[in-house]
Chain A
Amino acid sequence: MKLVFEKSVPGRRAVRIAPTNVPKINIRSDLLRQKPANLPELSELDVVRHFTELSRRNFGVDNNFYPLGSCTMKYNPKVAEHIASYPGFADLHPLLPQLRMGGMLTQGALRVLHEIDLLLREITGMAEFTMQPLAGAHGELTGMMIMAAYHREQGNKKTTILIPDSAHGTNPASAAIAGYSVVSIPSNDSGVMDIEAVRQHLNDDVAGLMLTCPNTLGIFNPHVKDICDLIHSVDGLTYYDGANLNAIVGKARPGDFGFDIVHLNLHKTFATPHGGGGPGAGPVGVKKKLVPFLPVSVVIKRNDGTYALQYDRPKSIGYIAPFYGNFGVVLKAYVYILMLGKEGLCRVAENAVLNANYVKERLKGHYRLAFDRLCKHECVFTISERMAQNGIHAVDIAKALIDKGFHPPTVYFPTIVKDAMMIEPTETESKETLDSFIDAMIEIAEQAENEPEKLKTTPTTAVVCRPNETIAAKNLNIAYL
């Protein structure tokens, strides 16, 4: 398909700019660009057709089942999109509340920020949230900065963060960027962080621990509280990576496990759309002793019932985002929580876990389970021995699924499982959808064992087939100029 630039026709226009009756000024010529920015020249219809065609070359949750493990591709309610486009929200300038009495101009927005804070506190068992982190990884960095600020105030000289080997890459990267060195803790035979290994690596240098629970294998660590206690015994802090909160939301609370800091991915558990890779939002919640370190500003409710921004927090880690977070995303999560309510929220994890275990049980005779045990919101399979002998890899299963009309699961992650296929159905999918996915997976398994060469050329129905990553990296072409 042609690029938007290749469709350009000199002189064609889509947008007519309103005429004006103010004089034109001539800015000094050495401050001006030499030649105009070379943008495409198209009609509105050209542009609409181009992007409509691009959209048809893309696959979202609205197209079909999207069991991308650890990404929680649940249905994104349309009403949330509708509400986010209300002019009262979409057209609100972020600097308004920084004007004198300006908070009164944004009472609705501040109330949304305050109320979702209260809701998330109750859902997670934390003392207070900041909505500012702009994504999950940004929440991790914020959490690590809070950790560092706490230790600085305590006079602690701590240098390392313990992270399980099954963790997302963002965990070690966030810890490193906050100035810590990372100690990777191996998983044990049950697929979880080994408490003995934690004990072995425990010393006064340990600033804290980052843990995803249930982890990326979909397994809940039964020793999670003991691990938190161990870390606390050296005045370390515990960080809960909320990437997998969907597995326990409405059933259990990370605050009760002993975590001091949590981040939530609103685009996962709280159903805001993933946008093709962002924007997300990664609010961070902390226990009481860490509240003073939260980033500024903080939304407070005053005695007269009005809402205001508070900046006077001397121990705060400072500003980590330009304003109050990805407000448009936070708003959609707020709408989602309001609509689910207490009774709905308690059904989320139940159905997410039920769906995952249903898929796991029905597929386990056909693929090899990395850990054959009760799972939470996702299950991790790998290929059978016969498939391996046939030269089949996870990628072949994934590509074959595309031809059956499904988005593949996450493959090759977690890295501790060879040829991992991580399936997360989410609670919003129906039994019929799961059954048709399972049937497709079984058919592919049979092919992988008996006619493996057929899988090697899949997908045949997609617009492209297995683009070559080596060529992309070697003959780097990342802009059309």
Chain B
Amino acid sequence: MPFISNTPQQQEQMLAEIGLTMDELFDDVPRELMAEAFDLPRGLSEQETRNRLMELAEKNATHLTCFLGGGFYDHFIPAAVHSIVSRSEFYTAYTPYQPELSQGVLQATYEYQSMICRLTEMEVANASLYDGGTALYEAMMMALRITDRNKVIVDDSVNPIYRVMIHSYTQNLKIELEQTHCEDGLTNRDQILQIIDDKTAAVIVQNPNFFGCIDEFSDIAEAAHDKGSLLIVSSYPVSLGILKTPAAMGADIVTGEGQSLGIPMSFGGPYLGFMASAKQYVRKMPGRIAGETLDMSGQKAYVLTLQTREQHIRRDKATSNICSNEALCALTALVYLSLLGTQGLRETAQLCADKAKYAYKRLTAIPGVEPHFRGKWFFNEFVLDLPYEAADVIARLIEKRFAAGFPLGRYYDGMENSILISVTEKRTKQEIGMLAEALESVL
């Protein structure tokens, strides 16, 4: 039998030793609750399984040149990343409950937290959350706890996927969510300054925002702090290779999706939600945190710390119900950043921006293709207006082997002709040129 070590003889031997039959082992389950039969297929051999799954994998389109982003990006991943995180001492372990046997994961977690702090210039970070969306929701809940208020302002240039998630999560709670509307490509500060008041727990913004535009939130941070509210910034970690950090803008809590840090796209997960904050809020933070300490002989060691915030101790009064983190994804991000180093990350981020600008110039030179937001700085994504419905144009470009971008009409009324195009360092000048030719040919 696959994955069961004991032979039938051994099973008999063990049953004899404990004086029961296999059926008697289930005597405590009322007979009427036992299932009569399961309608399941026969088990497959490894070879059959691999053939079947290879066939399914080939039904997925990975031949497309990817200009699709929207918060989830096709970055280059060095081979050493996979090689390291495939070490089974990491991936077949569980939560580091026994620090003596988990110094590897614990030190890696501490290093990961340090790495997130260095990237964002924040003071503290947790061991990670499920993804960028749940991290943003958790940040919002954290702000509610810190301020003891119940109003939250979100600009609609924050990833719409995250906004709909926050909407779902707050359905049963007494939280007043107010949305401001981005008009010119930047967060709508006029509207935010108008509605922010002393009931506001937090203002949620994103940089670069969903449209790819680069913003600077110092003014919003100041206004928020004046009212005793917090500024929550959702950020794109690769962009922090060159862009101003959330800390430098006055952010109180920073979250983001870490997928771009060496984690494959894998059709939506597993991903990595990161969270960092000012040190004074660390006890209100959700999720695991690794900390440095000393062991019995006085040597440096790492443990999970501040656990009294967590569900296994605080139960219904915990800062969150989360009981794991995305440890292996956090390790992946740590390895990726260790391999890239200061210069590598800076160059990667710069290349994203350079190639995006190049693509922007090539594409806006096509008759009928116009920039949607003019005169705005963008990082590696930008919005173009097409003469026809963007969804339609994108469908035609798929036939030419391009995933050319995302149709914004899906989430924004009135943007049916707008396409969000993403360019990572992985795209070549040649690919960008070919996209421009293909786009021109279908218009």
A and B touch in the complex (CB under 8 A): yes
Which of the segments B29-37, B190-198, B226-234, B365-373 contacts the partner chain?
Answer: B29-37
Q: Tell me the smallest distance from the CB of B402 to a CB of chain A, in Å.
A: 11
Q: In this assembly, does A343 line the interface, its C-beta being within 8 Å of a C-beta of chain B?
A: yes
Q: What A residues does B329 contact at CB under 8 A?
A: 275, 278-279
Q: In this assembly, does B185 line the interface, its C-beta being within 8 Å of a C-beta of chain A?
A: no
- Per the bound structure, the CA–CA distance linking A324 and B335 in Å amounts to 26
Q: What A residues does B328 contact at CB under 8 A?
A: 273, 275-276, 278-279
Q: In this assembly, does A431 line the interface, its C-beta being within 8 Å of a C-beta of chain B?
A: yes
Q: Tell me the smallest distance from the CB of A190 to a CB of chain B, in Å.
A: 10
Q: In this assembly, does A90 line the interface, its C-beta being within 8 Å of a C-beta of chain B?
A: yes
Q: Tell me the smallest distance from the CB of B145 to a CB of chain A, in Å.
A: 12
Asked if B327 and A278 sit within 8 Å, CB to CB, the answer is yes
Q: In this assembly, does B17 line the interface, its C-beta being within 8 Å of a C-beta of chain A?
A: yes
Chain A 68-86 interface residues, beta-carbon cutoff 8 Å to B? 68, 71, 73-77, 79, 81-86
Q: What A residues does B55 contact at CB under 8 A?
A: 108
Residue of B nearest to A271 (CB): B3
Which of the segments A197-205, A229-237, A443-451, A473-481 contacts the partner chain?
Answer: A473-481
Q: In this assembly, does B374 line the interface, its C-beta being within 8 Å of a C-beta of chain A?
A: no
Asked if B323 and A136 sit within 8 Å, CB to CB, the answer is yes
- Per the bound structure, the CA–CA distance linking A42 and B336 in Å amounts to 12
Q: In this assembly, does A217 line the interface, its C-beta being within 8 Å of a C-beta of chain B?
A: no
Q: In this assembly, does A441 line the interface, its C-beta being within 8 Å of a C-beta of chain B?
A: no
- With beta carbons under 8 angstroms apart, the residue of B18, B53, B337 that contacts A39 is B337
Asked if B403 and A478 sit within 8 Å, CB to CB, the answer is no
Residue of B nearest to A336 (CB): B3
Q: List 12 A-B contacts (CB under 8 A).
A: A15-B341, A68-B94, A76-B91, A82-B50, A92-B266, A93-B265, A135-B323, A169-B323, A278-B328, A431-B6, A478-B290, A481-B123
Asked if A91 and B62 sit within 8 Å, CB to CB, the answer is yes
Asked if A99 and B395 sit within 8 Å, CB to CB, the answer is yes
Given contact pairs A22-B357, A123-B40, A136-B323, enumerate 5 new A-B contacts (beta carbons under 8 Å): A55-B84, A109-B60, A138-B322, A251-B35, A276-B94
Digitize A456-481: 1 where CB-to-B-CB distance is under 8 Å, 0 elsewhere: 01010011111111011101111111
Q: In this assembly, does A155 line the interface, its C-beta being within 8 Å of a C-beta of chain B?
A: no
- With beta carbons under 8 angstroms apart, the residue of B84, B290, B325 that contacts A47 is B84
- Per the bound structure, the CA–CA distance linking A253 and B161 in Å amounts to 35
Asked if B341 and A277 sit within 8 Å, CB to CB, the answer is no
Asked if B377 and A28 sit within 8 Å, CB to CB, the answer is yes
Q: In this assembly, does B385 line the interface, its C-beta being within 8 Å of a C-beta of chain A?
A: no
Q: In this assembly, does A269 line the interface, its C-beta being within 8 Å of a C-beta of chain B?
A: no
Asked if A172 and B315 sit within 8 Å, CB to CB, the answer is yes
Chain B 1-44 interface residues, beta-carbon cutoff 8 Å to A? 1-6, 10-11, 13-15, 17-18, 20, 22, 25-30, 32-35, 38-44
Asked if A55 and B89 sit within 8 Å, CB to CB, the answer is yes
Q: Tell me the smallest distance from the CB of A181 to a CB of chain B, in Å.
A: 8
**Interface size bucket, A side?**
35 or more
Q: What A residues does B348 contact at CB under 8 A?
A: 17
Q: In this assembly, does A185 line the interface, its C-beta being within 8 Å of a C-beta of chain B?
A: no
- With beta carbons under 8 angstroms apart, the residue of A37, A317, A362 that contacts B119 is A37
- Per the bound structure, the CA–CA distance linking A339 and B291 in Å amounts to 41
- Per the bound structure, the CA–CA distance linking A12 and B344 in Å amounts to 10
Q: In this assembly, does B387 line the interface, its C-beta being within 8 Å of a C-beta of chain A?
A: no
Top 10 nearest A-B pairs (CB, nearest first) are: A341-B43, A88-B57, A323-B268, A58-B104, A318-B168, A60-B92, A279-B270, A275-B328, A108-B59, A94-B268
Chain A 332-380 interface residues, beta-carbon cutoff 8 Å to B? 335, 337-348, 350-351, 353-355, 357-358, 361-362, 373-374, 376
Q: What A residues does B282 contact at CB under 8 A?
A: 476, 478
Q: Tell me the smallest distance from the CB of B120 to a CB of chain A, in Å.
A: 9
Quick one: which of A96, A402, A475 has the most chain B CB within 10 A? A96
Asked if A59 and B40 sit within 8 Å, CB to CB, the answer is no
Quick one: which of B6, B42, B82, B162 has the most chain A CB within 10 A? B6
Q: Tell me the smallest distance from the CB of A167 to a CB of chain B, in Å.
A: 9
- Per the bound structure, the CA–CA distance linking A317 and B61 in Å amounts to 30
Asked if A3 and B107 sit within 8 Å, CB to CB, the answer is yes
Q: What A residues does B66 contact at CB under 8 A?
A: 93
Asked if B294 and A468 sit within 8 Å, CB to CB, the answer is yes
Digitize B224-251: 1 where CB-to-A-CB distance is under 8 Å, 0 elsewhere: 0000000000000000111111001000
- With beta carbons under 8 angstroms apart, the residue of B18, B269, B425 that contacts A17 is B425
Q: Tell me the smallest distance from the CB of A401 to a CB of chain B, in Å.
A: 9
Q: What A residues does B248 contact at CB under 8 A?
A: 33-34
Chain A 168-200 interface residues, beta-carbon cutoff 8 Å to B? 168-170, 172-179, 181-182
- Per the bound structure, the CA–CA distance linking A285 and B259 in Å amounts to 28
Q: In this assembly, does A410 line the interface, its C-beta being within 8 Å of a C-beta of chain B?
A: yes
Q: Tell me the smallest distance from the CB of B185 to a CB of chain A, in Å.
A: 13
Asked if B323 and A374 sit within 8 Å, CB to CB, the answer is no
Asked if B43 and A340 sit within 8 Å, CB to CB, the answer is yes
Q: In this assembly, does A418 line the interface, its C-beta being within 8 Å of a C-beta of chain B?
A: no
- With beta carbons under 8 angstroms apart, the residue of B14, B70, B72 that contacts A354 is B14
- Per the bound structure, the CA–CA distance linking A359 and B340 in Å amounts to 48
Q: In this assembly, does A389 line the interface, its C-beta being within 8 Å of a C-beta of chain B?
A: no
- Per the bound structure, the CA–CA distance linking A337 and B343 in Å amounts to 45
Asked if A39 and B292 sit within 8 Å, CB to CB, the answer is no
- Per the bound structure, the CA–CA distance linking A298 and B134 in Å amounts to 19
Asked if B291 and A472 sit within 8 Å, CB to CB, the answer is yes
Chain B 80-110 interface residues, beta-carbon cutoff 8 Å to A? 80, 82-84, 86-105, 107-108, 110
Q: What B residues does A300 contact at CB under 8 A?
A: none
Asked if B394 and A277 sit within 8 Å, CB to CB, the answer is no
Q: Tell me the smallest distance from the CB of B129 to a CB of chain A, in Å.
A: 9
Which of the segments B146-154, B304-312, B435-443 contacts the partner chain?
Answer: B304-312
Chain A 1-50 interface residues, beta-carbon cutoff 8 Å to B? 1, 3-5, 8, 12-15, 17-18, 20-25, 27-28, 30-34, 36-42, 44, 47-48, 50
Asked if B173 and A179 sit within 8 Å, CB to CB, the answer is yes
Q: What A residues does B86 contact at CB under 8 A?
A: 81
Residue of A nearest to B394 (CB): A99
Q: What B residues does A98 contact at CB under 8 A?
A: 406, 410
- Per the bound structure, the CA–CA distance linking A227 and B123 in Å amounts to 49
Quick one: which of B41, B99, B168 has the most chain A CB within 10 A? B168
Q: In this assembly, does A388 line the interface, its C-beta being within 8 Å of a C-beta of chain B?
A: no
Asked if A479 and B89 sit within 8 Å, CB to CB, the answer is no
Q: What A residues does B209 contact at CB under 8 A?
A: none
Q: Tell me the smallest distance from the CB of B239 to a CB of chain A, in Å.
A: 10
